[in-house]
Amino acid sequence: MSDEGRRMARALRLHVEGLQGLGVTAVPRQPGDSGATDSKPERLGRLARAVEACRRCPLYRTRTHAVLSDGTPDAKLVFVGEAPGRDEDLRGVPFVGAAGQLLTKMIEAMGLRREQVYICNVLKDRPPGNRTPLPEEVEACRPFLDEQLAIVQPNIICVLGAVAARTLLGPHVSITKIRGQVCDYQGIPLVPTFHPAYLLRNPSVKRLAWADLKRVKQLLESA
Ligand code: URA
């Protein structure tokens, strides 16, 4: 099988597993037979309930809230982070702690508001002590991210940090090597940049992140 064939087979397998994870056991023959024509908020509402009920990894036992998203489902731009931290777990909203406040400033520096974009994470539950997500947690949660992207259908995706970059681009990706490039995720331009928490610890690389965000803005304007 060619590389492209393998990529498509993997994408199809992940999509089918995602649907199974969401409780789908049959696909309608005609659009309109089931939820195929439901609105984005309806589909995201169903997804939120599936995330609440999810027991595919042990993180549900230690979470306060599952954290699905913030922003609008009609967004042209989606940000994908790593996983909820303490503040996000307590409030049930992504990127509301110190890193989140920096992300909000970055969005505003692009001339946008948080409400105009869609913000989510690879994991929907907080890993204890904010440790890095385990590969099996990413694998278990992945169908939810795939479904979010399939529902929102953004024009541009901006991944924040190594975990999100590896999840969408492949396990061997190095964020420091690929940032500065525009990548492709299933036909959607994807811009990798540093995670805001990394920027807080390493302010000298903020100028590189700003260059990435300017690229995102250009892509948005030409989309
Ligand atoms: N870091 C993340 O990756 N996501 C959040 O929601 C908060 C901090």
Q: Which overall architecture, per CATH, does domain 3-222 show?
A: 3-Layer(aba) Sandwich (3.40)
- Give the pLDDT of residue 16: 57
Mean pLDDT, rounded, for 121-141: 98
pLDDT at residue 9, as a whole number: 55
Task: Find out whether the beta carbon of 133 lies less than 6 Å from any atom of ligand 1.
Answer: no
Ligand 1 center from residue 22 Cα (angstroms): 23
- 99 in ligand 1 pocket by Cβ < 6 Å? yes
Nearest CA to ligand 1 atom 3: 82
pLDDT confidence of 32, banded at 50, 70, 90?
Answer: very low
Please give the span between the terminal C-alpha atoms of the chain, in angstroms, as a whole number. Answer: 33
Average predicted confidence (pLDDT) for the chain = 90
> Which of 128, 54, 168 minimizes the C-alpha distance to 68?
54
Residue 147 in tokens: 């479904």
Summarised one tens digit per residue, pLDDT across range 46-55 is 999 999 999 9
At 24 the pLDDT is: 52
Q: Which residue has the higher pLDDT, 185 or 20?
A: 185
Which residue is associated with the tokens 């969401």? 22
Look up the pTM and report it: 0.86
User: What is the pLDDT, as a whole number, of residue 92?
Assistant: 98
- For residue 102, CA distances in Å to 98, 158, 211 come to 7, 15, 16
Residue that has been written with the tokens 């805001």 in this structure:
196
Read off the pLDDT of residues 165-214 as tens digits, 9 standing for 90 and up: 999 999 999 999 999 999 999 999 999 999 999 999 999 999 999 999 99
- What confidence tens digit (pLDDT) does each residue in 70-119 have? 999 999 999 999 999 999 999 999 999 999 999 999 999 999 999 999 99
Phi, psi of 193 (to 5 degrees): -145, 180
Confidence class for position 29, pLDDT limits 50, 70, 90 = very low
Would the CB of 127 count as within 6 Å of ligand 1?
no
Q: What percent of the chain has pLDDT over 90?
A: 83
Task: Give 80's strand partners.
Answer: 120, 159
SS3 49: helix
The rounded distance, in Å, linking the Cα atoms of 33 and 94 is 34
